[in-house]
Amino acid sequence: MNIASILATKGDKVVTVRGEQSIREALGVLAQHNIGALVVVDAGLRPIGILSERDIVRAAAKDEKVFPLLVSQLMTRDLVLGDPGDDLGAVGQTMVQRHIRHLPVVDGGKLVGMVSIGDVVKAQRDQYQGEVDTLQTIVMEHGA
Amino acid sequence: MALGSAERPLRVAVIGAGPAGFYVAEHVLRRPDLVAEVDMYDRLPTPYGLVRAGVAPDHQKIKAVTGAFDKVAAHPSFRFFGGVELGKHVSVSDLRTHYDQIVYTTGAQTDRRMGIPGEDLPGSHPATEFVAWYNGHPDYRDCQFDLSQERVAVVGVGNVAVDVARILCRTPDELAATDIAEHALEALRHSRVKEVYLLGRRGAAQAAFTNPEIKELGELQAADVTVVPQEVELDPLSRQALEQGGDRAGMKKVEILQSYARRPRSGKPRRLALRFLVSPVAILDNGCGAVGGIRLVHNRLVASAAGTIQAQATGELEELAVGLVFRSVGYRGVPLPGVPFDDKWGVVLNEKGRVLDPDTKQPLAGEYTAGWIKRGPTGVIGTNKPDASETVTEMLEDVAAGQTLQPSEPDPAAAERLVRQRQPDYVAYADWLRLNELEVARGVGRGCPRVKFTRVDEMLAALGNRTRP
Q: What is the DSSP string of B103-158?
A: EE-----EEPP---TTTTSTTEEEHHHHHHHHTT-GGGTT----TT-SEEEEE--S
Whether residue B64 and residue A10 make contact (CB cut-off 8 A), yes or no, is: no
Facing residue for A8 by CB, picked from B376, B380, B386: B376
pLDDT at B209: 87
Classify the phi-psi angles of B245: left when phi > 0, otherwise alpha if psi is within -120 to 50, otherwise beta. alpha
What CATH number is associated with residue B349? 3.40.50.720
What is the pTM (predicted TM-score) of this model? 0.95
In the predicted model, residues of chain B with pLDDT beneath 50 are none
Confidence of residue A139 (pLDDT cuts 50, 70, 90): confident
Q: Using alpha carbons only, give the angle B427, A142, B247 rounded to the nearest 5 degrees.
A: 110
Q: Which burial class, exposed, middle or buried, applies to A62 when counting CB atoms under 10 A from its CB (0-12, 13-18, 19+)?
A: exposed
Residue B467, pLDDT score? 58
Residues B318 and B352 in one domain: no
| Statement to judge: residues B85 and B57 lie in one domain | yes
Residue B417 is assigned to a structural domain of this protein = yes
For residue A143, is pLDDT > 60?
A: no
Q: Are residues B236 and B167 in the same domain?
A: yes
Beta strands in B245-352 (DSSP E): 270-275, 278-285, 291-303, 309-320, 324-327, 331-332, 341-342, 347-348, 350-351
Residues of A with CB under 8 A from a CB of B: 1-2, 4-5, 7-13, 80-83, 85-87, 89-91, 93-94, 97, 103, 107, 112, 125-127, 129-135, 137-138, 140-142
Total domains in chain B come to 2
Integer angstrom CA distances of residue B2 from B288, B399, B411: 69, 10, 15
Sign of the CA dihedral running B379, B381, B385, B388: positive
d(CA B296, CA B228) in angstroms, rounded, equals 15
- Domain end point (choices B295, B329, B363): B329
- The pLDDT value recorded for residue A108 is 86
As for the ipTM of the complex, it is: 0.89
Q: Which residues of A touch B64 (CB under 8 A)?
A: 137-138, 141-142
Q: Is residue B1 part of a domain?
A: no
pLDDT of residue A142: 65
**Domain boundaries in chain A?**
4-142
Contact B386 A86 (CB under 8 A): no
Do residues B305 and B352 both lie within one domain? no
Strand partners, B11: B37
- Contact B308/A at CB under 8 A: yes
Tell whether B4 is covered by a domain: no
Mark whether B143 and B254 lie in a shared domain: yes
Answer whether residue B16 is part of any domain. yes
Nearest by CB to residue B347, choosing from A2, A8, A125, is A8
Instruction: Indicate the length of chain A as a whole number.
Output: 144
Q: Which residue of A has its CA nearest to B207?
A: A1
Q: Do B304 and A86 touch (CB under 8 A)?
A: yes
Q: Classify residue B300 by burial, with Cβ atoms within 10 Å: 0-12, 13-18, 19+.
A: middle
CA distance readout (Å), B94 to A64, B3, B404, B422, B469: 59, 20, 15, 11, 22
Cα gap A131→B382, rounded to integer Å: 6
Please indicate whether residue A12 or residue A90 has the higher confidence score (pLDDT).
Answer: A90
Nearest-CA distance from A84 to chain B in Å? Answer: 9
B170 and B294 assigned to the same domain: yes
Which domain-ending residue is among B329, B353, B369? B329
In a domain, B277, yes or no: yes
d(Cα B134, Cα B143) in Å, to the nearest integer? 10
Residues of A in contact with B307 (CB under 8 A): 86-87, 90-91, 93-94
B299 and B411 in a single domain? The answer is no
Range of the domain at B121: 112-329
Q: From the CA of A68, how many Å to the nearest CA of chain B?
A: 31
From CA B144, how far away is CA A126, in angstroms rounded?
Answer: 39
pLDDT of residue A144: 43
Domain A4-142 falls in which CATH fold? CBS-domain (3.10.580)
The alpha carbon of residue B467 is apart from the nearest alpha carbon of chain A, in Å, by: 32
- Residue B41's DSSP bridge partners are B15, B81
Cα–Cα dist B223/B271, whole Å: 5
Chain B residues whose CB is inside 8 A of the A131 CB are 380, 382-383
Give the residue-averaged pLDDT of A56-84: 94
Indicate whether A13 pLDDT > 70. Answer: yes
pLDDT exceeds 90 at position A126: yes
* Interface with chain A: mutation pick from B26, B352, B356, B375, highest number of A CBs within 10 Å: B375
Residues of A whose CB is below 8 A from B380: 130-131, 134
Q: Do B271 and B348 sit in the same domain of this protein?
A: no
- Predicted confidence (pLDDT) per residue in B416-428, tens digit: 999 999 999 999 9
pLDDT score recorded for residue B469: 53
Q: What is the CATH number of the domain that holds B205?
A: 3.50.50.60
- What pLDDT shows up at residue B153? 98
Q: Is B62 on the interface with A (CB under 8 A)?
A: yes
Distance CA B39, CA B282 (A): 47
Least confident of A10-19, A123-132, B52-61: A10-19
Is residue B457 in some structural domain? Answer: yes
Residue B269 and residue B160 share a domain: yes
- Note the pLDDT of residue B331: 87
Contact B386 A129 (CB under 8 A): yes
In chain B, which residues have their Cβ closer than 8 Å to the Cβ of A87?
Answer: 206, 307-309
Q: Assign B465 to helix, strand or coil.
A: coil
- Domain termination site, one of B306, B329, B352: B329
Whole-number pLDDT of residue B70: 97
Same domain, residue pair B179 and B325:
yes
